Structure 1
């Protein structure tokens, strides 16, 4: 009889261990399925919604073939977080370039975007006139009435999914033209990239 009780006890123990192992395996499989479907990391995307000339002052020094250009752009951006978890990005900077030369920058403070949220940002980019004085192309470009510029933004951050932190970097680069005669922006072409 003692042997029979011992066998029953052993059978119950084996049954409990087997059930526990099956439950753990099922939970792991469920977490893997969720990680690769619902909680799969998606790329945050920066979009340019609108860009306009806020301030533009142009003056020529014909004797020295120099132009003095002060330009401030209002840029409406949005950052979309398609993940089921928040995207926390670090301090960043928006840059403005003229023919590959950095001519202006503005800081973008660190922040967080909730799951599925699209965050609007308004950035004022000011072109630093003193950085253009040594550039010989600016005179002819302003005289023609069209100044071609590029804006570049890089947002590095992290998405936390199921306890794991996944690094993500979202960048946007826009080439555009400023028409000095009527203070408008045209010929806008943007490229967006994200790396996980």
Structure 2
């Protein structure tokens, strides 16, 4: 039993009673709120930092591009060498009323790549399709390569066609062109993809579309005419 002293100095026993009321505050609520606010602040700072770095890199690339003034690369079909042209025909008969013909072809094409820029160019693999009156005959592949600044490079590829059979109308046209006119007109179509590299950065891909017409003499086994057109589009 505990004693209580009143205002008059008398000692009286303390009456039992409920303990004084104590306030308890949930610590977890405040700690979790503080952690969430801290996390949001860190995310905001990180986002601002990444945005600043992205803008800085973009500004550097823009300054470099404006400084070097990149120009589109030049890619042209320079030479066409005819190594072999063979046409096999079969006249119409009772068993086969339609005229048939097969074409064998072996030509070598040389392309010239010109890089007028002060930085290098990265070319991707290119495919060129050889066609006769819209009929695909063969495909020539040029592997991808890197070209240094302000340089000229020559690349070669070969198209080999082994006895491809043509339909009746195309076969008759081929026989007429080869026997009467001694000229077989072919089309060479293809796309060349290139990217300019600046300090480990590459510019958007530039696609060069090539459309060439070549005329071959089956009798002389050589090229008699060549004309090419080139268009450039950004991809």
TM-score per shorter chain, which class? 0.7 to 0.9
User: TM-score, normalising length from structure 2?
Assistant: 0.63
Partner of 1:144: 177
- Match for 1:86 among 111, 114, 120? 120
CA, structure 1 residues 124+135, in 2 after alignment: closer, same or farther (shift >3 Å)?
farther
Larger Cα Rg: Structure 1 or Structure 2? 2
Within a 5 Å distance, the mapping from 1:59-98 to structure 2 comes to 59-63=88-92, 64-98=98-132
Worse-matched range after superposition: 43-52 or 161-170: 161-170
Q: Does the CA-based 8 Å contact 2:208-2:231 persist in structure 1?
A: yes
User: TM-score, normalising length from structure 1?
Assistant: 0.74
Gaps of 5+ in 2: 1-58, 93-97
Q: Does the CA-based 8 Å contact 2:142-2:155 persist in structure 1?
A: no
Could you say which structure has the greater relative contact order, defined with CA pairs below 8 angstroms and 6 or more residues apart? Answer: 1
Q: Does the CA-based 8 Å contact 1:152-1:173 persist in structure 2?
A: yes
SS of residue in 1 equivalent to 2:174? helix
Partner of 1:23: none
CA, structure 1 residues 135+119, in 2 after alignment: closer, same or farther (shift >3 Å)?
farther
Gaps of 5+ in 1: 1-27
Q: Does the CA-based 8 Å contact 1:41-1:161 persist in structure 2?
A: no
Q: Does the CA-based 8 Å contact 1:103-1:128 persist in structure 2?
A: no
**Which structure features the higher share of strand residues?**
1
Q: What is the Cα deviation at residue 153 of structure 1? A: 2.6
Q: What is the Cα deviation at residue 139 of structure 1? A: 2.7
Matched, 1:153 2:216: no
Q: Distance in 2 between matches of 1:53 and 1:136?
A: 25
Query: Over the residues paired in the alignment, what is the CA RMSD in angstroms?
Result: 2.3
Within a 5 Å distance, the mapping from 1:31-42 to structure 2 comes to 32=63, 35-37=65-67, 39-42=68-71
Matched, 1:177 2:215: yes
Q: What is the Cα deviation at residue 65 of structure 1? A: 1.3
Q: Distance in 2 between matches of 1:79 and 1:137?
A: 34
Q: Does the CA-based 8 Å contact 2:118-2:149 persist in structure 1?
A: yes
